[in-house]
Structure 1
Amino acid sequence: MAVTEGTVPFRGFHTWYRVVGRLPGPDGKPPLLVVHGGPGLSHDYLEDLGALADGGGRAVVFYDQLGCGRSEQAQDPALWTLDTFVAEIGALRRELGLDRIHLLGHSWGSQVALEYVLGRPSGVAGLVLAGVVADAPAYAAEARRLKDSLPTEVREVIDRSEAEGTTDDAYLGATMAFYQRWLCRLDPWPEHLVRSVLSMREDVNAALWGPEWNITGSLKDWSVADRLGEIDLPVLVTSGRHDMVTPAVVRPVVESIPGAVWALFEESAHMASVEEPEHYRQVVESFLSRVEAGQVAA
């Protein structure tokens, strides 16, 4: 399987990318450009999607967002805005000649993808929104509800630590109780997910987001819920049965985007591409192929 890595210039820095498969794709298949979550993670946990290039012959383009993973570790706090990461998609497309693509955004990456497609760029054939968040306050309210369902002693550690501004081992252990239920239910977590988590740029995350259930970053009031009807692309929404992005968050997105379809992964939390990788790839490739055959309308 052909794998190409490199960097593209972006705002005085460099964004790292990896292409699995060949560009242009066989039979004119548009590549899948993957926007990872976080904010502050690397793309590693989404690597299972690269097998689409093997089974379906579709090139998959991964990248690490500026300041994250293998991309240049910029330190300027002024860069940590949603606009930066939306513009980065355009820079990648220009530099790599990605004239026609499918776009997949996971979690925070779905927010970036939504803002990008709402700018009506040309050449986007289909959109996959995985663990989608379109309204930060709505998501935070559901995350608080999930957190409050944890055992009392675990919840008290989280609340006390956040009130005191401490993040000691007890706090980290308590937050893992949340993530093991609603982020990824595999035990142990796969190495590529661990790699992503350990790569977290905490300052990037804090600037934009912060704790799942108490968003303190600049996106705490962010919402595009009232603009979803503007999206005129074929859209697949995916989530897990045990996802921290609950049906109360996902359903309004599906209902607001004309023609959107929703795939629910019964054995997964927030990481369906990790927890059910083969099934997830089958669902995504089926959707993309149907879009290309004109069988899925916007």
Structure 2
Amino acid sequence: MKSLMDGEYKVKLNGITHWIRVAGSKNNTTPLVILHGGPGGNQYVFERTIGLLLSNSRTVIYYEQRGCGRTEKPSDDTKYSIDLLIEDFKSLRKWLEVKKLDLLGYSFGGELALEVAHADPKVINKIVLSGPSLINSEINKMVQITGFCSVVDNQMYKQMQNVLKEGLTIDETYNTFWELVDSKSVDLLLFENQEIGKKNRTVGGK
């Protein structure tokens, strides 16, 4: 690994300027790259919670995916795909100048970690998957449907109950719920502390 100091960096990877943060460099371990959730998430919460513990004993590399958080947003909406995210990651590895990396992917980042490992298996040492979202699976959609019903206000809950009475498929119900919910409802689903949810939005959370 190149000699990096702890801190934040702006680095051009695969044509997009990415936000990168290094923590725990004094530990001099195989870098642990954190892949955040989404698509469209960021590292704001993770780097202030679990990340603090990890960097006590590991060299931790945070980066935010293209169009996310503090990373540059492509001007063309077609410039988002798993293949491009994999190429971004490969550029990150080259910038770090390492032969091996460990991955920790949470939510959508778990899926991306598996895609990266499949595309570049010789580089990945170990993988940790934390609640990989498996976005298209029915169980994930059912969890989110149930979750929204448990946190939204009474007015939104009544709308959701009406949707459930329509006898739609899981996919149709899931898509309808996401059309109904507002930012407040999404934050209630994702964050126990709503102040953290507000701060998360200031760095690009949807």
Is 2:24 the counterpart of 1:21? yes
Is 2:37 the counterpart of 1:37? yes
Does the aligned pair in 1 maintain the 2:34–2:62 contact within 8 Å?
yes
Which residue in the other structure is 1:123 paired with? 123
Query: What is the alpha-carbon distance in structure 2 between the residues aligned to residue 106 and residue 43 of structure 1?
Result: 11
3-state SS of 1:17 partner: strand
Query: What is the alpha-carbon distance in structure 1 between the residues aligned to residue 200 and residue 184 of structure 2?
Result: 18
Which residue in the other structure is 2:144 paired with? 143
TM-score, normalised by the number of residues in structure 2? 0.74
Does the aligned pair in 1 maintain the 2:151–2:185 contact within 8 Å?
no
Specify which of 155, 158, 168 is matched with residue 156 of structure 1: 158
3-state SS of 1:113 partner: helix
Does the aligned pair in 1 maintain the 2:36–2:43 contact within 8 Å?
yes
Query: What is the alpha-carbon distance in structure 1 between the residues aligned to residue 74 and residue 67 of structure 2?
Result: 5
Is 2:4 the counterpart of 1:6? no
Gaps of 5+ in 2: 164-174
Query: What is the alpha-carbon distance in structure 2 between the residues aligned to residue 16 and residue 65 of structure 1?
Result: 8
Does the aligned pair in 1 maintain the 2:187–2:194 contact within 8 Å?
no
User: Taking structure 1 as reference, are residues 104 and 141 closer, same or farther at Cα in structure 2, changes over 3 Å only?
Assistant: same
Which residue in the other structure is 2:166 paired with? none
Does the aligned pair in 1 maintain the 2:70–2:204 contact within 8 Å?
no
Deviation, structure 1 residue 174: 4.2
Which residue in the other structure is 1:79 paired with? 79
Partner letter of residue 24 of structure 2? Answer: G
Partner letter of residue 3 of structure 1? Answer: D
Query: What is the alpha-carbon distance in structure 2 between the residues aligned to residue 86 and residue 70 of structure 1?
Result: 19
Partner letter of residue 70 of structure 1? Answer: R
TM-score, normalised by the number of residues in structure 1? 0.53
Which residue in the other structure is 1:99 paired with? 99
User: Taking structure 1 as reference, are residues 154 and 20 closer, same or farther at Cα in structure 2, changes over 3 Å only?
Assistant: same
Question: For 1:207-218, what aligned pairs fall within 5 Å after superposition?
Answer: none
Partner letter of residue 72 of structure 1? Answer: E
Query: What is the alpha-carbon distance in structure 2 between the residues aligned to residue 156 and residue 35 of structure 1?
Result: 36
Is 2:197 the counterpart of 1:196? no
Deviation, structure 1 residue 11: 3.0
Does the aligned pair in 1 maintain the 2:103–2:126 contact within 8 Å?
yes
Equivalent pairs counted in the alignment come to: 186
Deviation, structure 1 residue 189: 3.8
Gaps of 5+ in 1: 203-298
3-state SS of 2:85 partner: helix
Deviation, structure 1 residue 166: 7.1
Query: What is the alpha-carbon distance in structure 2 between the residues aligned to residue 31 and residue 142 of structure 1?
Result: 33
Deviation, structure 1 residue 10: 2.4
